[in-house]
């Protein structure tokens, strides 16, 4: 099973600043990596797929990069609605076995 | 726009079977070339993929749950379902139904909390 490790566990950033979240895979997942945002009491929402493609209606301040084992989610200028928990998720195996990182909580500094 | 809604008992006794249904609206469950699946999240914890059923009828499960899980589709009702047998307190979680591309999951249902307790 591919293990996804996110860092840091908690990130404190001021509104208007940039946030950089990391996700590492225990083995290469190519570009088969997605990012989700989850707010309290809500289901996760797809932000990024294919490591760098924004999902429908996702603001341009969200960007993803990386391939292989190292991935980054960047939020260029934090808005109040961006403070949430972010998860990365990989798919690179057959038969399918999808795994998620443990999450990074983005909190207001 | 595709929408998913979970339904089922919020309380299940230990050793019994957890049964949930996901109703799909905004699209036909039988016309999709992608797949339908379930993901769960214990309170305060992370996400775990349970399994998926493809439009072809093929099913794939997380190996850690495979011996206890069945996912099936009812095309006449535009629904798919999850059955998890022999539950314990460790199966207490919010259960989400999802639509998947093969790589990512979108959209998700709102989720339903299932508590395993006597």
Give DSSP secondary structure letters for B92-113: -EEEEEEEE-SS-EEEE---EE
Per-residue confidence of chain B (118 residues) as pLDDT tens digits? 899 999 999 999 999 999 999 999 998 888 767 889 999 999 999 999 999 998 778 899 999 999 999 999 998 999 999 999 999 999 999 999 999 887 899 999 999 999 999 9
Average pLDDT over residues A4-15: 96
Task: Look at residue A69 in the predicted model and tell me its pLDDT.
Answer: 97
Indicate whether A59 pLDDT > 80: yes
Task: Look at residue A75 in the predicted model and tell me its pLDDT.
Answer: 97
Average pLDDT over residues A1-26: 96
Query: Using the beta-carbon criterion (under 8 Å), do A95 and B48 form an inter-chain contact?
Result: no
Task: Look at residue B57 in the predicted model and tell me its pLDDT.
Answer: 83
Query: Which percentage of chain A shows pLDDT scores above 70?
Result: 100
List C-alpha distances in Å: B36 to A86, B4, B13, B81, B85.
23, 10, 27, 10, 20
Task: Look at residue B13 in the predicted model and tell me its pLDDT.
Answer: 98
Count interface pairs A-B at CB distance under 8 A.
Answer: 56
Q: Mind spelling out the 3-state secondary structure of A14-76?
A: CCCCCEEEEEEECCCCCCCEEEEEECCCCCCEEEEECCCEECCCCCCCEEEEEECCEEEEEEC
The whole-angstrom distance between A63's CA and the closest CA on chain B is 16
Residue entry with tokens 């989850």: A38
> Which residues of A touch chain B, with CB atoms under 8 Å apart?
1, 32, 34, 36, 42-46, 49-50, 55, 87, 89, 91, 95-103
Query: Using the beta-carbon criterion (under 8 Å), do A49 and B52 form an inter-chain contact?
Result: no
Query: Using the beta-carbon criterion (under 8 Å), do B103 and A44 form an inter-chain contact?
Result: no
List C-alpha distances in Å: B78 to A10, B2, B33, B108.
40, 12, 15, 16
């Amino acid at each position: 099973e591919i293990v996804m490790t996110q860092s840091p566990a908690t990130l404190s950033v001021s509104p208007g600043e940039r946030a950089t979240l990391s996700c590492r895979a225990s083995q290469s997942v190519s570009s088969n990596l997605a990012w989700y945002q989850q707010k309290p009491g809500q289901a996760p929402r797809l932000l990024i797929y294919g490591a760098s493609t924004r999902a429908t209606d996702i603001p341009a301040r969200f960007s993803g990069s990386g391939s292989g084992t190292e991935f980054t989610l960047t939020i260029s200028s934090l808005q109040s609605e961006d403070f949430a928990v972010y998860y990365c998720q990989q798919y690179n195996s057959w038969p399918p076995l999808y795994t998620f990182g443990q999450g990074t909580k983005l909190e207001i500094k | 726009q595709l929408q998913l809604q979970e339904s089922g008992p919020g309380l299940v006794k230990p050793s019994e079977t957890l049964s949930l249904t996901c109703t799909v609206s905004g699209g036909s469950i039988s016309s999709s070339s992608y797949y339908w699946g379930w993901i769960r999240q214990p309170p305060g914890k992370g996400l775990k993929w349970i399994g998926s059923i493809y439009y072809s009828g093929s099913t794939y499960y997380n190996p850690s749950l495979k011996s206890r899980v069945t996912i099936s589709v009812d095309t006449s009702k535009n629904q798919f379902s999850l059955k998890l047998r022999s539950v314990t307190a460790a199966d207490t979680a919010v259960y989400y139904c999802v639509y998947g591309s093969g790589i990512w999951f979108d959209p998700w249902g709102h989720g339903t909390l299932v508590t395993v307790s006597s």
